[in-house]
Amino acid sequence: MNILERIVLDKRREVASKMASLPLSFLKMSPLMEREAFSLSESIVKGSGIIAEFKRRSPSKQVINHSSSIIDVVRGYEKSGVSGISVLADTKYFGGALDDLVQARDQVAVPLLRKEFIIDPYQIYEAKAFGADAVLLIAAVLGPDEVVAFSATARQLGLEVLLEIHSEEELRRSDLTHIDLVGVNNRNLKTFEVSLETSKDLGPKIPDDKVKISESGISSARAIKALKPYGFRGFLIGENFMRTKDPAAAANQFLKELNNED
């Protein structure tokens, strides 16, 4: 069993437990269910294109940053001019929590992406109830019918959907009707090897009416400049900021360099 399969198996157990303790009917009572979500796709197209991530650890790198406050980080990210903020909500493998999403929502007025291994519609309602503006669906862990059903649920709740792909086959079999953004993860979720060539290969194959996002392995303004000709408007950056002592300052410096590069 590879790491992705193990994560999904644990996620199914986790979601079943949550549904037993906090039924969907309770989630629907959250005041945030009535909130009009910000548009991540619009923010990317009109802004810097940077989606900065808050992530404490990962299966591949273990501890990344356990000292930075989410409040300080997301405030700093917003001030630096990011187009969106990705919040890791998985606890077991990434050290995150839904409380991180709530705290971030209370602090900033930029779109929030709930970064999670979504395997049940319950988690989409969770995302809405806890303040997200967009959700991540991973083609590698979902069947084609699930992508359709889950993205339709998100659309009904007023949330945008970022569909993450790793191969042309995943793109080919995915119905993009209710998908707003398509992300190419440069990290192989089975081996955790990273290559920007994945984005360069798949970018031109993604329909141009979808906002294209390159994810993982982006550590310089030059890398972004190199990816833009392949159709990418957004760039998800996590560890490059979070592995520093001051992620907000790192993001601010990165955005300055990006502006100078442009």
Which residues are catalytic, by number? 53, 55, 115, 164, 185, 215-216
How does strand 160-165 pair with strand 181-185? parallel
DSSP class of residue 68 equals: S
Residue of 17, 19, 232 lying closest to 217 (CA atoms) = 232
Helix (DSSP H) and strand (DSSP E) numbers for the chain? 12, 10
Are 113 and 84 within 8 A, CB to CB?
Answer: yes
Are 61 and 102 within 8 A, CB to CB?
Answer: no
Six-digit token string for 136? 């991540």
**Cα–Cα distance measured from residue 98 to residue 94, given in angstroms and rounded to the nearest whole number:** 12
Alpha carbon 76 to chain centroid distance?
18
Provide the 10 A C-beta neighbour count for residue 43.
22
Six-digit token string for 249? 């300052």
Are 224 and 234 within 8 A, CB to CB?
Answer: no
